[in-house]
Amino acid sequence: MVQYVSSPLDRSFSALSDATRRGIIDQLGQGDTSISSLADQFQMTLTGMKKHVQVLQLAGLVVTQKVGRVRTCRLGKRGLKAEAEWIEAHRKLFEARFEALDELINDMKQEGSDESAS
């Protein structure tokens, strides 16, 4: 509903949420490729593939260049730095939470064994 902004992180995580698009990135890691070649590999119409590439482009993950009649796609220089940073920071958050929980459990165990002494 009325998508107000849509930050870079919104766009890149959204772009990565589709298996076909993750596959395109895999493919482009092997080397630059045309839209029609990608369409071929992923068994999809040219038009369909073009849409996927556009999503990746909007996310800055892929750049394209048209020379003659073929548009070549390659990985964007933007990379996945911001995404890696978000994920890494929050992976640590998850872990910290579980450590906190473990401590709580240990405290509870402690209290349990203290009961006879109180």
User: Which stretches of the chain bind a second copy, using CB under 8 A?
Assistant: 5, 7, 9-11, 13-14, 16-19, 22, 25-26, 28-29, 74-77, 79-81, 83-84, 86-88, 90-91, 93-98
What is the distance of C-alpha 10 from the center of its chain? 10
Determine if 45 is a binding residue for DNA (CB under 7 A).
yes
Question: How far, CA to CA in Å, does 76 sit from each of 5, 36, 53, 61?
Answer: 22, 19, 12, 5
Q: Measured from the CB atom, is 10 or 85 closer to DNA?
A: 10
Q: How far apart are CA 117 and CA 23, in angstroms?
A: 62
List 12, 24, 28, 35, residue binding DNA (CB under 7 A)? 35
Question: How far, CA to CA in Å, does 115 sit from each of 17, 84, 107?
Answer: 51, 47, 12
Q: How far apart are CA 112 and CA 118, in angstroms?
A: 10
List 22, 66, 90, 109, residue binding DNA (CB under 7 A)? 66
Q: Measured from the CB atom, is 90 or 118 closer to a second copy?
A: 90
CB of 39 to a second copy, least distance (A): 16
